[in-house]
Amino acid sequence: MQISSSWQKLIHAKEWIKTYLQRISWLYQIVMHWKARQHPALLVRKGFTRIVIEAYPRSSNSYCVRLFRYANPEVAGETISHHSHSVSNVRHAVRWKIPVLVIVREPVTAITSNMLAVQDTSDERLEILTTKYIDFHEWIRDNADKIVIVRFEDVVGSRLRMISMALNQKFGTTFRTDLDEEALAQHTRKSIELNSPNKANPNKVPLPSPEREKSYRALRPRVRGNSSVKRATDLYDQILAFAVQPGTSQESP
pTM recorded for the entire structure: 0.88
Amino acid 249: pLDDT: 45
Q: Is 126 helix (H, G, I), strand (E, B) or coil?
A: helix
Percentages helix, strand, coil for the chain, rounded to the nearest 5? 60, 5, 35
Amino acid 103: pLDDT: 98
Q: What is the DSSP letter of 42?
A: G
Q: Which domains does the chain have, with CATH numbers?
A: 5-251 (3.40.50)
Confidence of residue 253 (pLDDT cuts 50, 70, 90): very low
- Are the C-beta atoms of 36 and 77 separated by less than 8 Å? no
Beta bridge partners of 140: none
Distance CA 132, CA 15 (A): 10
Q: Which conformational region is residue 199 in: left (phi greater than 0), alpha (psi within -120 to 50 degrees), or beta?
A: alpha
pLDDT: which is higher, 4 or 199 = 4
Distance CA 69, CA 56 (A): 20
CB-facing half-sphere around the CA of 42: CA atoms within 13 A: 15
Q: Nearest-CA neighbor of 244 among 181, 157, 165, 140?
A: 165
CB-facing half-sphere around the CA of 224: CA atoms within 13 A: 8
Q: Nearest-CA neighbor of 193 among 66, 20, 93?
A: 66
What does the pLDDT average to over 64-80? 94
Amino acid 210: pLDDT: 65
- Are the C-beta atoms of 191 and 87 separated by less than 8 Å? no
pLDDT: which is higher, 1 or 195 = 195
What does the pLDDT average to over 213-224? 87
Distance CA 154, CA 157 (A): 5
φ, ψ of residue 53 to 5 degrees: the values are: -120, 110
Amino acid 231: pLDDT: 96
187: pLDDT strictly greater than 70: yes
- Are the C-beta atoms of 62 and 152 separated by less than 8 Å? no
Amino acid 217: pLDDT: 85
Neighbouring CB atoms inside 10 A of 55's CB total: 26
